[in-house]
Structure 1
């Protein structure tokens, strides 16, 4: 038997966002596609009930510790167990470790330092440098992230395997349109068409410019709402104030975290999904929106063109007028909306967690 240890601590988080969802999905897919001679040993810090359904080949070790869990629990336990390899799906390699493969999702703190506290930037810089040096192989979630690691950290490109993310089976056009109406009603979105953003509310997501673009669109006579669905992150307060400063606070809805079960209906009911982020390691919300049939407006930079292909309207995220023009174009052109929906559905089908897991497993087995 070949034993692969996995840091599964991110997969047990109650409210999963980017890296947590990746951890959950890639672990589940690895368990589905690995050959019979492979077994997995998952290390967690509580929350066993939030792991995905797994086969009997997956053993779970719950090693609880309030602080420094990675270095004081995960690392020593895996080192003593002598696996073929330890897989760390989210950034930090333990100080003491067996042969390790680590996934680096992005280096947004380098591109957009003002979105982080000085302490957090230092922490991310130190842990990323350590993980890149300590790991036998690095997984990057996009070609854009691979380029960043090569350009900024001098990583040998031969050490990096690109493993594009997949799409959860939970995302697709709802079969029942009444469900879409019910979810819209629950969030108070039946009055007007709405633009939808899903993700953490933070400066890197470029939401202040989206709000400014909405103000331009409303001033031109359009009748729309903007729904910002996601947890409030650091420096979210200036984003919320911007809507009030422009006099459109009643047209911008901050919903907070939205349960996964509501997302497909919210996406399917949107006039468009808007995601002109300033930097993304991958940008999985773009795929999720496409899979649910929402026309997508996204950014021309970082990994987003790589993910969107020809299935979205790409805009300069620094140009408020370009964002506003894209919104008005989608609003006015039903043929364009239909075309973006069809292209998006086809594009989303190209990204699966099984394909991500297969590339991941090949990298793990090579060590």
Structure 2
């Protein structure tokens, strides 16, 4: 008689190895941090394609009771062309190690060997195609269609992304859980005594009020539109005899649009009024959220949009886009503008900086809205849905919990 074994779930944890974390990497960290208490009696593993360079991954594994499995890529050329590690290699290897299910933090799944659950963060490549190369769009489309064919279930974070997914794939077969992300644990209100008022100067920000925007410097984030709106607002205030005193601070990892944005600043004559800080670490970013006069995020498309929610949590008045997931997440706790209308963005920035009643309302509404987005709540909704996707249990194995259908946005 074969010994009974517990159900076993493996997680594609490669995003944990990225040092400069942005939204997707943070989602992976928090998902894996908060799921273990909701999966008692389930064998869990973090699957990596190389050894972790720091102790943070090992510490997470110890806290969550995860095994760490390192499977180096076998075919470097195939890995460069497409993710051969995911497509062909790890499915059979994980099956041979006794795993029943793979959870992917993106839309990629093995083509053989192991069923899986995929995460759809957003469909930027389909909704804003001009911001992606043709080869990138084809690659993303191929992975999504393969995932829709192979996955036992899908996870996404907003109803807006679910609608986009169903519009792109009308015959979508796998069940889709819609469960909101949470605010990161390190983002929370700070008392005045905890503010590092010297930080802006260290980042090159002049001693003036500033509007903050945090994102990867990529075209779909609409930073070009934000710069045009900032130039327009500056002109309007000067014409009215009320010069604009604030500066615009763009914080984020360099992307495809970085050099073009720098040139755009020169072209618009905004050199003294725009500061690029580059990537900002977690603690410094929380400081910037608190010290900013306002936060601006007029992105053309997001699958969720975490930075505005973080700014709300810190009590900073927020300007966001009036469409899709961004409007869904912000609710009435942000000033919503048309991201394709430069004049509307400029008007919104003006109100956010100079309308005391609006600022006071958003400072109250933001933290209340953000309080409804927590990672423990995410894990409590996702774990039973995940267990429902497990194959039939082995004889004598503990039964999987029945799923609670994912909650709606607060």
Deviations 1:42-88 (A, max 9, x none): 10123533426243631111222363332354323223234232111
**Do the aligned residues in 1 keep the contact of 2:50 with 2:70 (CA within 8 Å)?**
yes
The 3-state SS of whatever aligns with 2:208 is coil
User: Residue 57 of structure 1 corresponds to which residue in structure 2?
Assistant: 65
Q: Secondary structure at the match of 1:330?
A: helix
Q: How does 1:83-98 map to 2 (within 5 A)?
A: 83-98=99-114
> Residues 13 and 50 of structure 1 are in contact (CA less than 8 Å); yes or no, is this contact kept in structure 2?
no
Unaligned runs of 5+ in 1: none
1:164 aligns with 2:180: yes
Larger CA Rg, structure 1 vs 2 = 2
Instruction: Give the distance between the partners of 1:211 and 1:235, measured in 2 at CA.
Output: 13
TM-superposition CA deviations, 1:317-344 (whole Å, max 9, x none): 1111111111111111223212211111
1:241 Cα deviation from its structure 2 partner: 1.6
Partner of 1:238: 260
8 Å Cα contact 1:144-1:303 kept in structure 2: yes
Question: 1:110 aligned to 2:126?
Answer: yes
Deviation digits for residues 8-66 of structure 1 (CA, Å, limit 9, x no counterpart) = 111221111121111111011102x3242123111012353342624363111122236
- Matched with 1:353 is 375
Instruction: Provide the C-alpha distance between the structure 2 equivalents of 1:64 and 1:339, rounded to a whole number of angstroms.
Output: 52
SS at match of 1:228: strand
Contact 1:82 1:98 in 2 (8 A): no
Alpha-carbon distance between aligned partners in 2 of 1:121 and 1:166, rounded to the nearest angstrom: 28
1:82-231 matches, within 5 Å, as: 82-156=98-172, 159-177=175-193, 179-219=195-235, 220=237, 221-231=243-253
Among 277, 282, 296, which residue is 2:299 paired with? 277
Q: Is the 8 A contact 1:100 1:134 kept in 2?
A: yes
Q: Which residue in 2 is equivalent to 1:332?
A: 354
Q: Residue 148 of structure 2 contacts residue 173 of structure 2 at CA under 8 Å; is this kept in 1?
A: no
Aligned residues: 366
**Take 1:141 and 1:274, find their aligned partners in 2: how far apart are those partners?**
22
> For structure 2, which runs of at least 5 residues remain unmatched after alignment?
1-5, 238-242, 390-410
Q: State the distance in 1 between where 2:293 and 2:90 align.
A: 45
TM-score by length of 1: 0.95
Report the Cα offset of residue 240 of structure 1. 2.2
Change (3 A) 1:237 1:44: same
